[in-house]
């Protein structure tokens, strides 16, 4: 493999799109909470005897880790995560990457938008993104974070709406 590898990281997301594995975000550094600056890569899987990481320079969303990503309709959708900022770096923004054009778009969400969260899970099916659980920081100063047990679905039906 060539030397242009992504930095060591954790809390990143990964999706598979035909013959490419994409990674976005994550954290690393000495304390493990610094979002990575080299945010977006894909691994070309078209020739398994010559695996190559490709760094993609584009207008990425803000750096984050412990977010979720799903692939749906030729796009990688990311939601939430943590910015690494204290006392409250939890995020609840939604973005997608057009995997062919390799450009990002922020998506204004409407409806019952989930509260800022990280360490949640997400899956996609039938043009929907299901988001479950995670953590927020409502009790950060009491040295405990609150785990969530709510469920949201992002509906892509003439717009983007969250429902519970």
- pTM (2 d.p.): 0.85
Give me the half-sphere count of Cα atoms (radius 13 Å) on the Cβ side of residue 71.
15
Q: Can you list the residues of the chain whose pLDDT is less than 70?
A: 1-3, 29-37, 138-146, 155-164
With respect to residue 156, please indicate whether it lies within any of the assigned structural domains.
Answer: yes
Tens of pLDDT, residues 22-66? 999 998 865 556 666 678 999 999 999 989 899 998 888 999 999
String of DSSP letters for 36-53: -SS-EEEEE-S-TTS-EE
The predicted structure's pLDDT at residue 148? 75
With respect to residue 7, please indicate whether it lies within any of the assigned structural domains.
Answer: no
The predicted structure's pLDDT at residue 140? 45
Sequence-separated (6 or more) residues with CB below 8 Å from residue 111: 161, 162, 163
Sequence-separated (6 or more) residues with CB below 8 Å from residue 81: 11, 25, 64, 65, 66, 67, 68, 90, 91, 118
With respect to residue 8, please indicate whether it lies within any of the assigned structural domains.
Answer: no
The predicted structure's pLDDT at residue 87? 72
Which residues span the domain enclosing 147?
13-163
- Pull the structure tokens for residue 92: 């609840």
With respect to residue 1, please indicate whether it lies within any of the assigned structural domains.
Answer: no
The predicted structure's pLDDT at residue 1? 43
With respect to residue 3, please indicate whether it lies within any of the assigned structural domains.
Answer: no
The predicted structure's pLDDT at residue 141? 47
Contact 61, 93 (CB under 8 A): yes
What domain count does the chain have?
A: 1
The CATH code of the domain that includes 51 is 2.120.10.80
With respect to residue 66, please indicate whether it lies within any of the assigned structural domains.
Answer: yes
Element (H, E) at 76: strand 75-82
The predicted structure's pLDDT at residue 2? 46
């Amino acid at each position: 493999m060539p030397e242009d590898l992504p930095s060591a990281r954790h809390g990143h997301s990964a999706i598979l799109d035909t013959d490419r594995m994409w990674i976005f975000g994550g954290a690393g550094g000495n304390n493990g909470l610094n979002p990575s600056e080299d945010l977006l890569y894909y691994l070309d899987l078209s020739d398994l005897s010559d695996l190559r990481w490709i760094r993609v320079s584009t207008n990425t969303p803000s750096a984050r880790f412990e977010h979720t990503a799903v692939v749906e309709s030729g796009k990688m959708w990311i939601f939430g995560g943590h910015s690494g900022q204290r006392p409250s770096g939890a995020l609840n923004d939604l973005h997608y990457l057009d995997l062919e054009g390799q450009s990002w778009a922020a998506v204004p969400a409407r409806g019952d938008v989930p509260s800022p969260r990280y360490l949640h899970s997400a899956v996609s099916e039938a043009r929907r993104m299901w988001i479950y659980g995670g953590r927020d920081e409502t009790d950060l100063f009491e040295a405990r974070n609150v785990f969530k047990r709510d469920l949201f679905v992002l509906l892509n039906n003439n717009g983007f709406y969250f429902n519970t």
